[in-house]
A and B are shown apart, each in its own frame.
Chain A
Amino acid sequence: MKKIINTIMIVSAMLISNLGLSQNNSKSMDAFTVQVNGLGCPFCAYGLEKKFKELDGMKKSSIDMETGIFTFEFPSERKLSIFQVQEQVEKAGYTPVQVEINRSNGEVERSEKQTALATDSEGEVKQISFKVEGNCGMCKARIEKAANSLNGVSNALWDESTKILNLKVNENTFHQEQIEAAIAEVGHNTENKTSTTQVYESLPPCCKYRK
């Protein structure tokens, strides 16, 4: 009888131990959810995934083209941060909207959602429009974000077919030249500002508008 009980205890201990191991294994990865604006063509979207493979350790990645949601797992001990994820997304030429990390210890980290800022209440709000070079939905996301990120600028909307950017601007805060400079900084030529070759070359293939 004692032998049977011992055997049961050993088997139980092994089962618990194995269970613990598998729990530890499953908990050793952090889960990342990244919302990216403007994913359009698979060649570029899978290019984003390739960019994260450079970090070495990424597992279980998936991309939902409809929602722009990119998910993956990454080893917890590497402590990949929200900032590093945003930086990697931008390095690949994409526009991150929000990053959420579910750490293996149960903690959840979430970035601020990057949306348009409210226009300053003081000063005259004026509607302006100018031409911005670009190609696709990813360009649209990048151009609009660059404009809307400026405090005092709102409702930036770029038309893919006409290449015209319409926006509202508080004239006390920004002038068109400064807005054009901000857009050129992310890779898109405007009527009066030209993007540097280095920034332009970092754009994804489908955003390369220079011929």
Chain B
Amino acid sequence: MSKQIPLNGVSPIGLVEQKGDLWISDGDHNRMIKTNFSGKMLDSISDFDRPMHISNQDGKLYIPNYGADNIVIVDENKKIETLNLPDTLDAPSGISVVEDEIAIADFYNHRILYFDGAKWISIGEEGHENGDLYYPTDVQIFGDKIYVADAYNNRLQVFNKKGESILLIGEEEKMNASTGVFIASEKELYITDFENNKVNVYNAKGELHQTLSTGLSKPIDLIKTNNKLVVINYKGQSIVIYTKK
């Protein structure tokens, strides 16, 4: 069962849940907006430079500025600082922050920059083979793995924390731009198929479990919370909430 909530005038790209509400990056309008699950706008912050797939931890939002090649951190008082990085980014498109670990999707450099709490490593290089990446757009650290939306290889790629590729998912489905990833559990992996207007759900082995398409129009990111799957439509300018029948 699904419910569609319009986000008029918003071109959503990334979303996270924070204290029962949603923060959404609005790439076309260089801002972050806060809404509730009914789509009511509660707050907004401006002056970003093409904000992308975001992350949050301890009340702080981590926002990749695709146009400015940096990551900014916004705290609950809207104080903004820039994340120090060991290397230059070229269009950061996604970030995941879990405790003291950080993973960044570095779009035009075809890699993930990963910080394990002590040191940074670079994962992947441009290409189409196992371990290669081709314009990654989103990333999520979960457990002992790093899940990458390997967007223009049209797959979800799973790495261990040494940066070794351990699983390729979704190549059979002929996705066209796999842009957003969300890992609900090791057995429940979600990926958006942007151009085909779908969301694919996989199990831990990478076997397709379900495909969703109702109400989707260029889906670009998603989260699962309280048994609801929340998907944002970039072109459709809306939120779609799926609940189990």
Contact = CB atoms under 8 A, between A and B. Distances in A.
Given A205-B152, A208-B134, A46 B177 contact: no
Given A42-B13, A42-B234, A43-B151, A63 B28 contact: yes
A166 interface: no
Given A43-B135, A46-B91, A136 B195 contact: yes
A131 to B, nearest CB: 17
B28 A205 contact: no
Interface residues of B, number: 27
Contacts of A43: 66, 91, 93, 107, 135, 137, 151, 179
A178 B40 CA distance: 56
A104 interface: no
Contacts of A136: 176-177, 195
A47 B152 CA distance: 15
A49 interface: yes
Contacts of B107: 43, 205
Contacts of B135: 43, 205, 208
A53 B93 CA distance: 18
A50 B68 CA distance: 9
B50 interface: yes
A205 B66 CA distance: 15
B11 interface: yes
- Interface of B: prevailing SS: loop
B137 A46 contact: no
B67 A53 contact: yes
A64 B28 CA distance: 8
A65 B50 CA distance: 14
B151 A205 contact: yes
Given A42-B28, A65-B11, A206 B67 contact: no
Interface string B146-157: 000001110000
Interface in A6-48: 40-43, 46-47
A173 interface: no
Given A65-B28, A136-B195, A208-B152, A42 B11 contact: yes
A41 B91 contact: no
Nearest to A208: B152
A58 to B, nearest CB: 11
Contacts of B194: 41
Interface in B158-207: 176-177, 179, 194-195
Q: By CB atoms of chain A within 10 A, which of B151, B177, B220 has the most?
A: B177
A211 interface: yes
A46 B48 CA distance: 13
B150 to A, nearest CB: 12
25 contacts: A41-B177, A42-B11, A42-B13, A42-B27, A42-B28, A42-B220, A42-B234, A43-B66, A43-B107, A43-B151, A43-B179, A46-B27, A46-B50, A46-B66, A46-B91, A49-B50, A49-B67, A50-B66, A53-B67, A64-B28, A136-B195, A205-B107, A206-B152, A206-B177, A211-B153
Given A41-B194, A211-B153, 11 more contacts: A41-B177, A42-B50, A42-B220, A42-B234, A43-B93, A46-B66, A50-B67, A53-B67, A65-B28, A136-B195, A206-B195
Interface of B: 11, 13, 27-28, 50, 66-67, 91, 93, 107-108, 128, 134-135, 137, 151-153, 176-177, 179, 194-195, 218, 220, 234-235
